[in-house]
Structure 1
Amino acid sequence: MMTDSRFQTRFWRIALPLLVGVAVLFVWQGAVTAFDVPSFVLPAPTLIAESLVANFGSLMGSLVVTLRVTVAAFLLASVGGVALAILFVQNRAVETALFPYAIILQVTPVVAIAPLILIWVGFDQVELALLILAWIVAFFPVLSNTVLGLRSVDHNLTDLFRLYGASRLQTLIELQLPAALPYILAGMKISGGLALIGAVVAEFVAGSGASTGLAWRIVEAGNRLDIPKMFAALFLLSLLGIAIFFLLSLVEYLLLRRWHESVIRREG
């Protein structure tokens, strides 16, 4: 009986959002048709689908560019954020000296510094500039969450490790990192979405056709009043963001499902 209940719960978790999405599309299509809304104001879902099929090659090529920048920025932010967080926790002086600058990077608008990054990197290296800007946006959540996780270890367990003569490296690997894993994964889930946002914003700022990512396709379509193509590009961006979120959620589930309360309670 419990198995059937869990199956029904999982089924509705998947089916309910899909049903809501289908209902919204039907209402959207019906409203555009009934009120004869011009396509350059709000295209119907069927027209967006036609534009997606017609421009599939160019849009998918742009999707690959945006995805490449997003994944590279996310990986750099994850590795760099965790490594720097470990350094901060191990050495208070380093944290005191560098953490304010990490905060400055976080609060500085990407739009404001993007032209400067483009000049420094060179306009012939636009993708590298996009990578730097996306990394700046995605870096801080991993750093701050990892620092919080490493400092949230049960002090009794830390004292026990000291009592048994564990080195700082052993304590880090066998106690602090496993205990901080839920925090690290939460930071990575935030960072994945921010890396995509950072890549898109950076592409907008780069402008002038130098970037061939999805953001430039949106700008290009808007300039030509090709609104169905714009919505098609937005649809692909949304799918990419959803895919990143669910992939990272799957990684979180696989790593935590056997021992952490956040997953065990959700399963129950």
Structure 2
Amino acid sequence: MSAQGKQQVPDGGNALRLSRIVLPVLVLALGLIVWELVVRLNDIQPYVLPGPVLVFKTLIGDWDVLWQSLLTTLLTTLEGFIAASVGGIALALLFNQSKLLEYSLFPYAVILQVTPVIAIAPLLLIYLPQQTAVVVCAWIVAFFPVLSNTTLGLNSVDRNLAGLFQLYGASRLQALRLLKLPSALPYILGGLRIAGGLSLIGAVVAEIAAGTAGAGSGLAYRIAESGYRLNIPRMFAALLLLSLAGIVIYGLLALISHLALRRWHESALGKES
């Protein structure tokens, strides 16, 4: 009985993992089929609602234009994400070393986060070069999750371990490097996962506010342009690319987090079992 029980647990776990993959794919396929049938049976015009087949054909036919726009948006997203990651982690380290600095500046970080970026973008476009303003918008949206998560992680160190380091006469730099940073790593990686998607959102919002055309325009402009021209299939194709880009960004950051934590942290060890 015990041997059979041991064999049933992995089988059940494999079935559960398989269902997590298969069920979303089935739901997606069913949704696309229903969508296509609704469009065809009701003879809905493409400028009202294109079917998924037409959207896919438009994606292939307009690939050159959409691909260049996607690269522009991804470059802005990457620049904003890097700036938010470096700035958020660095400022959180300073906050951890100086509570006076944290009490003085953290409220302004909160204000920056809760102010809608769509309201800030037009002002930035007045005072900054266009590309710089777009990157700053992406940075504003992605900055706070990195800062708050890193600050929380650095402040959540086990008091017994902190006392042990103090007992052995460790310096503040040693405690930070050997205790606080490793303990805060899951929080930091969690903040980076959130910031990756938010930097894409910030880039899209800034591109829409900028309203630029030409070779340097991103996917957000292509969506707005397609709406003005009633080219709804291209609008859906651009939106599909944006969604896929966000999924890929989150997936890459989740993979990096898993690889960094899989050998020692409970959140990753649970996925291995």
What range describes the TM-score normalised by the shorter chain of this pair?
over 0.9
Q: What TM-score do the two structures reach when normalised by structure 1?
A: 0.95
The reply on whether 1:241 has 2:246 as its aligned counterpart is yes
**Residue matched to 1:128:** 132
How many angstroms apart in 2 are the aligned matches of 1:149 and 1:218? 39
Specify the code of the residue in structure 2 equivalent to 1:232: A
Specify the code of the residue in structure 1 equivalent to 2:210: A
Secondary structure of the corresponding residue to residue 213 of structure 2: coil
The reply on whether 1:188 has 2:195 as its aligned counterpart is no
Q: CA RMSD in A?
A: 1.4
Which residue, 224, 228, 231 being the options, matches 2:236? 231
The reply on whether 1:166 has 2:170 as its aligned counterpart is yes
The reply on whether 1:220 has 2:225 as its aligned counterpart is yes
How many angstroms apart in 2 are the aligned matches of 1:164 and 1:140? 35
Secondary structure of the corresponding residue to residue 44 of structure 2: coil
Give the deviation of 1:38 after TM superposition. 1.6
How many angstroms apart in 2 are the aligned matches of 1:184 and 1:219? 35
Give the deviation of 1:208 after TM superposition. 4.2
The reply on whether 1:95 has 2:99 as its aligned counterpart is no
The reply on whether 1:204 has 2:211 as its aligned counterpart is no
Structure 1 unaligned runs (5+)?
Answer: none
**Residue matched to 1:144:** 148
Specify the code of the residue in structure 2 equivalent to 1:97: S
The reply on whether 1:68 has 2:75 as its aligned counterpart is yes
184-193 or 15-24, which moves further after superposition?
Answer: 15-24
The reply on whether 1:43 has 2:43 as its aligned counterpart is no
**Residue matched to 1:262:** 267
Secondary structure of the corresponding residue to residue 131 of structure 2: helix
Give the deviation of 1:8 after TM superposition. 3.4
**Residue matched to 1:251:** 256
How many angstroms apart in 1 are the aligned matches of 2:38 and 2:119? 40
**Residue matched to 1:179:** 183
How many angstroms apart in 1 are the aligned matches of 2:79 and 2:212? 23
Give the deviation of 1:13 after TM superposition. 2.3
Specify the code of the residue in structure 1 equivalent to 2:31: V
**Amino-acid identity (%):** 56
Q: What TM-score do the two structures reach when normalised by structure 2?
A: 0.93
Give the deviation of 1:153 after TM superposition. 0.7
Give the deviation of 1:129 after TM superposition. 1.2
Give the deviation of 1:120 after TM superposition. 1.1
Q: Provide, for residues 189-227 of structure 1, a one-character-per-residue CA deviation record: whole Å limited to 9, x for no partner.
A: 111111000000000100142751000000010000000
Give the deviation of 1:161 after TM superposition. 0.5
Secondary structure of the corresponding residue to residue 37 of structure 1: coil
Give the deviation of 1:75 after TM superposition. 1.2
**Residue matched to 1:115:** 122
Secondary structure of the corresponding residue to residue 215 of structure 1: helix
Q: Provide, for residues 165-189 of structure 1, a one-character-per-residue CA deviation record: whole Å limited to 9, x for no partner.
A: 1111111111101111111111111
Specify the code of the residue in structure 2 equivalent to 1:138: A
How many angstroms apart in 2 are the aligned matches of 1:75 and 1:208? 24
Secondary structure of the corresponding residue to residue 183 of structure 1: helix
Give structure 1 regions of 4+ aligned residues with deviation exceeding 4 angstroms.
Answer: 2-6
How many angstroms apart in 1 are the aligned matches of 2:174 and 2:167? 13
How many angstroms apart in 1 are the aligned matches of 2:212 and 2:256? 38
Q: Provide, for residues 89-118 of structure 1, a one-character-per-residue CA deviation record: whole Å limited to 9, x for no partner.
A: 110111111111111211121121212211
**Residue matched to 1:15:** 22
Specify the code of the residue in structure 1 equivalent to 2:241: L
Which residue, 157, 181, 199 being the options, matches 2:161? 157
191-200 or 5-14, which moves further after superposition?
Answer: 5-14
